[in-house]
Structure 1
Amino acid sequence: MNKTLLIIRREYLARVKKKSFVLMTFLVPGLILAMYGGIYLIAKNSDAMNKVRQIRVIDESGVFSAKLKDHKNIRFSTSAQTLPEAKTAAKKDNDLFVLFIPKNYTDKNSIQIFSEKKPNFALIDEIEKQVNTIATGNNMVSAGIDLQKIATLKTNISAETKQLTNDGEKDSNLTSAYGIGVASAILIYLSLFIYGSQVMRGVIEEKTNRVIEVIVSSVKPFQLMLGKILGVGLVGLTQFLLWIVLSTTITNVAEKAFNQDEVRTEQSSNPSQKNIDKNSIKSAQMPIGNPVMGFLNTLKGINYVYILGCFIFYFLSGYLLYSALFAAVGSAVDSETETQQFMFPITLPLLFTYILSFAFLVNNPDSTLAFWLSIIPFTAPIAMMVRIPFGVPDWQLALSMVLMVAGFIFTTWVAARIYRVGVLMYGKKTSYKELAKWFFYKE
């Protein structure tokens, strides 16, 4: 046991003291802050950054030209030019578009947009929306329907989601659940590959340098493998915890900075409001459409302790499960280029679940497929972390955790039997048949 602890200590300190570890630990939260700032500046100046698109309207029907309204960076103007003349002008100006509306505008594909370059979806969507609204209103007037009366009857209803719990009602926080689920899937997927690969590379490096022959003379192969796995795992856990602490701090600082900036903007636009009390500054919020503040506000009311505890468990258990297999692969080959034939079958369940987490699991966290993926140890680290923000029954979480523990104990045992032989094998092409022989070799 003391020898295993020495190996853990050596692997941990050797990696934590590296400049790359310190750099990445502080660089990632800094990048998060830069991302928030970039999104905020883009959202704040999005209208100024977009080019103004000039839409020349040739309206043969006489229904639309006077009713089309300018919108953000889109400017409508009625043109007296013929269609060929307007097309010629559009060829010379990248920001000029020609909207042609014939008399029979109700026919399919009769309304056309001409331009030198392809229009974006936002421009097409705005034109189609306004044209359809005007055409519908014109049809209603023709049918003798009072548009003003219809306008007074219109409603804008939005549903607020509430979750029923033993402690009463609380906000469902669907946006934050979706974001945390996706973020957890990405972090687990990347971490298992990054830190698992570090174990594999370490084994290959020691094997090719023949250092392993000296080490196993005083340490059992299983102790060596377990020490490397736990040492690198603790490095990953340390880095994640530091990221979480630094990112949380940066997020709070960013939220206050964005709020104060908005207060200053409101003051400059309303000079009469020179004095705003501290409570107003604290409660000030960005416009609803601002993506940064929208994201930050959805994080409120989240049970971070519960989610963080589950994340740490599934990171460690998933890491132990996969890194043991990575160590076995590293012991079976002489170079990293030979690992591909063994890596793909091992990582396929992880990749399969990662893809499904975006395409299916976040939209169907309570489905039968989601349940089984969160129970099977090879897929549970990603699948369960996607489901947890949406709420998982306690018995399912307990069952998944028990199977995860059993899973990494089993894979560690299997990997250790391969590792004890493969780590001393050199210059021999390894196959699955050879791995099976190593597994059944007696001590």
Structure 2
Amino acid sequence: MSKLPLIIKREYLAKVRNKSFIVMTILSPLLVVGMAALVFYLTKANNEEKKVIGILNEGNFFRAQFKDDASLSFIPFRDISLEKAKDSAQHQAYYGLLYIPQGDHIEDVAEHIAFFSKESPGLSTLSSLESVVRNQVREVKLRNFGVPDEVLRDMGKNYEINVSNFTGEKKLRGINEIKAIIGGAFGYLIMMFIIIYGAFVMRSVIEEKTSRIIEVIISSVKPFQLMLGKIIGTSLAGITQFLIWIVSAGFLLFLLATFLGVSMGELGGSQIPPDALDTVNNMSGGAQEKVQLYLMELLNISWGILLLSFVIYFILGYLIYSSIYAAIGAAVDNETDTQQFMFPVIMPLMLAIYVGFFSVFNNPHGPIAVAFSLFPLTSPIVMLMRLPGGIGAGGVPVWQFAASIALLVVTFLGIVWVAAKIYRVGILMYGKKPTYKEMYRWLKYS
């Protein structure tokens, strides 16, 4: 293995000196910052825009129920016909016209309420209007049955079930979902890195194979050494690019925030508006306690273990998949021929993201979540979704965590052995599209 460091160095330098690598390393942070600034601008512009809706109410119901809010503004029309109201709303470029006909019974009136607009209205706008109608009909019907006003007010109160474990310790609703999202973000990074830089390994193998350079290299280097060197060298180049992106994008975001006079949280879309801050400050004792419990739950996440696990699963997951990519690159003559092999490679990654979210959200210790967090091709993503809950004592059992890593190591050794067999034969084959049956036959060659 004395030549392995030379191969790694060659692959690393070949990648970082590539013009496209340099251009993307420079442009990507600029694009990220530009997108962040664009999203900030569009979000701010969208929040400032109000939908103006005209109201023509010909009856006695719903006189004071439609009130202006942050997104809707209502303009009443009086003493005009429906046709004139529609013409006026269209001429003044209103978002739409809400028509409330005359009637003696509120149920009949509600059934004939109509909304006119130039284009189909958004679901959120319709839901908001229908909610007002539904609540008012319900309130009037209850009043007709003699229900007092104080009872009506109490009926609108929300009730939440208190959740705690058997020892009496309070538990929070939705905390499993929040933790799964945190772990899923780490898993998503692993998936993107595997797809992007695994494809780099495959293209590198194809380029050397089609240029016949590989015939010269293979005369002095073992195929296994060459394959492993490509995998490690490309991964180091990718990590270098990621680190440059993180540092430069963070610096550019700081400069942009300083220039625009906004906070970093506002650029990310997470700044709390002043009125929301006032609401938080004026919270009742129970609400403040709940916020503190959520913060304590997030702070109690074993971030050190989570980050260390991320590095372990990142390395093992990338080595497994990049070995498969290298074997595919050695088996074909051009990138077009790789399409028949790509779906089975990407499918476990996509499955891990979607099945992982659905299973871990509902039951992080259920059989589906456990199975996918142990299966080597999906465990780098699904296990990271479960790990924010901790290891042991209510979190991921220690044996599952250890078994997951052990299975990854064993799978890596097995896949590297299989990939090296395919790589050794396929790297010198030209002009023929390989099939799964033929690649299986290569494994039997001594």
Question: Normalising TM by the smaller chain, what interval?
Answer: 0.7 to 0.9
Secondary structure of the residue that 2:140 maps to in structure 1?
Answer: helix
1:139 Cα shift? 2.5
How far apart, CA to CA, are the structure 1 residues paired with 2:251 and 2:115? 50
SS class of match (1:98): strand
Deviation at 1:229, TM superposition (A): 1.0
Check 1:289–1:389 CA distance in 2 against 1; reply closer, same or farther (3 A cut).
Answer: farther
1:293-442 aligned at under 5 Å gives the runs: 301=299, 303-391=302-390, 392-442=396-446
SS in 2 for 1:425: coil
1:63 aligns with 2:61: yes
Letter in 2 for 1:114: F
* Corresponding residue SS for 1:413: helix
Deviation at 1:404, TM superposition (A): 0.5
Counterpart residue identity of residue 222, structure 1: F
Over 3 Å counting, the alpha-carbon distance change for 1:321 and 1:238 in structure 2 is same
Does the residue aligned with 1:355 lie in a helix, a strand or coil?
A: helix
The 5-angstrom pairing of residues 29-178 of structure 1 reads 33-34=33-34, 37-48=37-48, 50-60=49-59, 62-72=60-70, 73-102=72-101, 103=103, 104-107=105-108, 109-148=111-150, 150-151=152-153, 155=157, 176-178=178-180
Asked if the contact 1:57–1:65 (Cα under 8 Å) also holds between the matched residues in 2, the reply is no
Matched, 1:229 2:231: yes
Q: How many residues align?
A: 413
Secondary structure of the corresponding residue to residue 424 of structure 1: coil
* Distance across 1 between alignment mates of 2:81 and 2:151: 38
Deviations 1:175-209 (A, max 9, x none): 65243233223322221111111111111100000
Residue 10 of structure 1 aligns to a residue in which SS?
Answer: helix
CA contact (8 A) 1:164 1:170 kept: no
Q: Separation in 2 of the partners of 1:27 and 1:231?
A: 23
Letter in 2 for 1:130: V
| Partners of 1:56 and 1:99 within 8 A in 2 | yes
**Quick check: 1:29–1:246 contact (8 Å CA) kept in 2?**
yes
Q: Which residue of 2 aligns with 1:10?
A: 10
Percent sequence identity is: 39
- Shift in Å, 1:377: 0.9
Segments of 5+ residues of structure 1 without an aligned counterpart are 263-283
The residue that corresponds to 1:275 in the other structure is none
SS of equivalent residue, structure 2 residue 54:
strand
SS at match of 2:355: helix
C-alpha distance in structure 2 between counterparts of 1:323 and 1:147, whole Å: 68
The answer to whether the Cα contact below 8 Å between 1:65 and 1:78 also exists between their aligned partners in 2 is no
Q: Secondary structure at the match of 1:2?
A: coil
Q: 1:271-310 residue pairs with structure 2 within 5 A?
A: 286-287=273-274, 301=299, 303-310=302-309
Amino acid at match of 1:218: S
8 Å CA contact 2:52, 2:95 repeated in 1 = yes
SS, match of residue 339 in structure 1: helix
- TM-score for the superposition, normalised by structure 2: 0.79
TM-score, scaled relative to structure 1? 0.80
Query: Partners of 2:366 and 2:316 in 1: how far apart?
Result: 24
- How far apart, in 1, do the equivalents of 2:32 and 2:398 lie? 33
Given that 2:54 and 2:89 are in contact with CA atoms closer than 8 Å, whether structure 1 keeps it comes out as no
**Alpha-carbon deviations, 1:132-184, whole Å to 9, x = none?**
2322332333333332464378656678989999xx98988556524323322
**Which residue is equivalent to 1:238?**
240
* Secondary structure of 2:429's aligned partner: coil
Asked whether the 8 Å contact 1:93–1:116 carries over to 2, the reply is no
Q: Distance in 2 between matches of 1:65 and 1:101?
A: 10
Q: CA deviation at 1:313?
A: 1.6
CA drift at 1:334? 0.8
**RMSD of equivalent CA atoms:** 3.8
Stretch moving more, 150-159 or 300-309:
150-159
Look up the SS of the partner of 1:440 in the other structure. coil
Q: Distance in 1 between matches of 2:367 and 2:113?
A: 47
CA distance, structure 1, for counterparts of residue 208 and residue 440 of structure 2? 23
Measured in 1, the distance between the counterparts of 2:308 and 2:187 equals 15
Structure 2: which amino acid aligns with 1:331?
A
Q: Is the 8 A contact 2:327 2:420 kept in 1?
A: yes
CA-CA distance at 1:215 after TM superposition: 0.2
State the one-letter code of the partner of 1:321.
Answer: I
1-side partners of 2:218 and 2:66: how far apart? 80
3-state DSSP of counterpart to 2:107: coil
8 Å Cα contact 1:362-1:387 kept in structure 2: no
User: Deviation string for 1:12-55 (max 9, x for gaps)?
Assistant: 1222344544554565555555555555555555442x243122
1:338 to 1:131, Cα distance in 2 relative to 1, 3 A: same
- SS state of the match for residue 337, structure 1? helix
Contact 1:259–1:285 under 8 Å retained in 2: no
What is the rounded CA distance, in whole Å, between the counterparts of 1:366 and 1:253 in structure 2? Answer: 44
Distance 1:254 1:170 in 2: 40
